Amino acid sequence: MATQALSPVDGRFGPIDFDRFHREEMPALLERRGALFGAAGAEAGAEAGAAALRPLGFRLPDGRAYTYVPEQQTFVVRPGLDGARTVVALPEEAWCEFAWELKTCFALLYADQLTIEQGSFGQLARWEPLLRAALSGQALFDLDHPVPIEDEAGRPLDLTQTFSLDDPADAPRSFLQRAGFVHLRGVLDADEVAALRTDVDEAVSKARPDDRTSWWTTVDGREVCNRVNYLNEGSARIAALGSDPRFVAVAALGGPDLRDAHDRLDGNGVVIKVPGARGGLADLPWHRDCGMGGHPVKCPMLNVGIQLDPATAETGQLEMIPGSHRGTSRLPEAPEAEKHPVVALTTEPGDVTVHFGHTLHAAPPPRGRRAQGRPVRGRPVQGRPVQGRRALYLSFVPPLTFEMVGPRQGYNDVLFTRGGGRIQHTDELR
């Protein structure tokens, strides 16, 4: 995806002088930021920060290199690679995109734009939140010490609340802003859901593993479709959802300037939970929807999921970490997530889930071997059809996204770079 400075005055997202940045700009930034994590190393984990974060070096093809070294509650920059425990080699353009957060370390991995010459990719992933705090001033979301979510009166927020569009908008808006997600009941009626199911079934039946629009996984050795993007291109009904007054009102909960991104950033896509899936990204661990990059461009992105089937633990429901949209962090492991009041969203067909793209969320596998829902009828699947829950997604993003990202472009496009056009899990790449 092409990126460029928006204007000479704005100056964002353009080339960065690698040497001047590390010799002058980064030290000045670090001095202004002060302490980036607590004395106990809150962001780094239970260990002290210096023990969890090892010196990290970046090297360009021409040999220029700098190492980030943890020191007390922040880090310092040193020229060269002496003492670096992990060394990342990458092109200068890729480093600039990483510095701007147009590509995260995971996007660089998928794009095959980095080489871990020494140490581990895990150290780079552990460092990235700290770098975001230093480079762009993002707050660090503390994985080890949950902060209580409170309502307007300072009382603990009831995280099990649900709302409808008949409620005064201030109530679901306040909940969304505080928790990072909200559950809206009964937005669509049964007839509307049935019509959308028909359009989704048709799109899935036409999807192919090499079309670079759909995502696939394997069940019992057979390829099964678990996602189709840009459904709006084949369905006028789906394409019109973003301008439906109900969804215009839903988008307004996230902010007054958010616009429907139906023609970019994956368009309007369906996510299908597939029991028994192996490989690919059918079952997403804890992640953020800006996890491949573009957080400063497309956030606060609001993702709106129209539930086409019941969502329960048996069918693979969405889980949220409340308040995690307020900062950045590494992706939590299960024990870290369990320290937080994780909310599993149990929904009915026609309900809508709404979450900020920066909210940590997961889509674990269905517990049932054959979950509720209609068959996935992709032609590559033979034998008994696999069933799974489906959710149709709309995305609403700020105006800057439309300046930076063209039609049919998206930050997730990098996922197709490797694996012959098939989406792979990072564990498969490494």
- The CATH number assigned to the domain holding 109 equals 3.30.1050.10
Percent of the chain scoring above 90 in pLDDT: 77
Single out the residue of 212, 263, 245, 252 nearest to residue 418, CA to CA: 212
**When comparing pLDDT for 43 and 21, which is higher?**
21
> Phi and psi dihedrals of 226, rounded to 5?
-120, 0
Residue 107: CB atoms within 10 A of its CB come to: 26
- Boundaries of domain holding 111: 18-136
The rounded distance, in Å, linking the Cα atoms of 297 and 407 is 15
- Per-residue confidence band for 48, with pLDDT thresholds at 50, 70 and 90: very low
- Per-residue confidence band for 372, with pLDDT thresholds at 50, 70 and 90: very low
Q: What was the pLDDT predicted at 6?
A: 30
Q: What was the pLDDT predicted at 367?
A: 82
Does residue 237 belong to any structural domain of this protein? yes
> Phi and psi dihedrals of 134, rounded to 5?
-75, -45
Per DSSP, 155 falls in state S
Residue 156: CB atoms within 10 A of its CB come to: 10
Residue 406: CB atoms within 10 A of its CB come to: 12
Q: What was the pLDDT predicted at 381?
A: 38
133 with 139: CB under 8 angstroms? yes
365 prior amide bond cis, ω within 30: no
Note whether 121 and 223 are same-domain residues. Answer: no
Does residue 80 belong to any structural domain of this protein? yes
Note whether 276 and 344 are same-domain residues. Answer: yes
pLDDT digit string, tens, across residues 176-213: 999 999 999 999 999 999 999 999 999 999 999 989 99
Q: Looking at this protein, which amino acid is placed at residue 406?
A: G
Does residue 146 belong to any structural domain of this protein? no
Q: What is the mean pLDDT of residues 406-430?
A: 82
Q: What was the pLDDT predicted at 368?
A: 64
Note whether 202 and 313 are same-domain residues. Answer: yes
Per DSSP, 370 falls in state S
pLDDT digit string, tens, across residues 268-284: 999 999 998 888 888 88
**When comparing pLDDT for 38 and 309, which is higher?**
309
Least confident of 33-47, 128-142, 239-253: 33-47
Q: What was the pLDDT predicted at 182?
A: 98
Does residue 7 belong to any structural domain of this protein? no
CATH number of the CATH domain containing 394: 2.60.120.620
Task: Please give the structure tokens belonging to residue 415.
Answer: 């996922």
Q: What was the pLDDT predicted at 373?
A: 40
Q: What was the pLDDT predicted at 429?
A: 67
All residues at 6 or more sequence positions from 115 whose CB lies less than 8 Å from its CB, including other chains: 88, 89, 90
Mean per-residue pLDDT of the chain = 89
Q: What was the pLDDT predicted at 278?
A: 87
Q: What was the pLDDT predicted at 386?
A: 40
Task: Tell whether the model's pLDDT for residue 314 goes beyond 80.
Answer: yes
Does residue 4 belong to any structural domain of this protein? no
Helix, strand, coil: what percent of the chain each, to 5? 30, 20, 50
Task: Tell whether the model's pLDDT for residue 39 goes beyond 80.
Answer: no
Helical segments of 26-75, H only: 26-33, 49-52
Q: What domain count does the chain have? A: 2
The rounded distance, in Å, linking the Cα atoms of 373 and 162 is 23
pLDDT digit string, tens, across residues 315-335: 999 999 999 999 999 999 999
pLDDT digit string, tens, across residues 251-274: 999 999 999 999 999 999 999 999
Note whether 67 and 179 are same-domain residues. Answer: no
Residue 205: CB atoms within 10 A of its CB come to: 14
Task: Please give the structure tokens belonging to residue 192.
Answer: 């509307």
Does residue 92 belong to any structural domain of this protein? yes
Strands 56-59 and 86-89: parallel
Q: What is the mean pLDDT of residues 99-109?
A: 96
Percent of the chain scoring above 70 in pLDDT: 88
Does residue 141 belong to any structural domain of this protein? no
Note whether 268 and 193 are same-domain residues. Answer: yes
Helical segments of 104-189, H only: 105-110, 121-136, 170-179
Residue 399: CB atoms within 10 A of its CB come to: 10
Q: What was the pLDDT predicted at 51?
A: 59
Task: Tell whether the model's pLDDT for residue 173 goes beyond 80.
Answer: yes
- Per-residue confidence band for 384, with pLDDT thresholds at 50, 70 and 90: very low
Does residue 409 belong to any structural domain of this protein? yes
The rounded distance, in Å, linking the Cα atoms of 359 and 260 is 19
Task: Tell whether the model's pLDDT for residue 376 goes beyond 80.
Answer: no
Burial class (CB in 10 A: 0-12, 13-18, 19+), 112: exposed
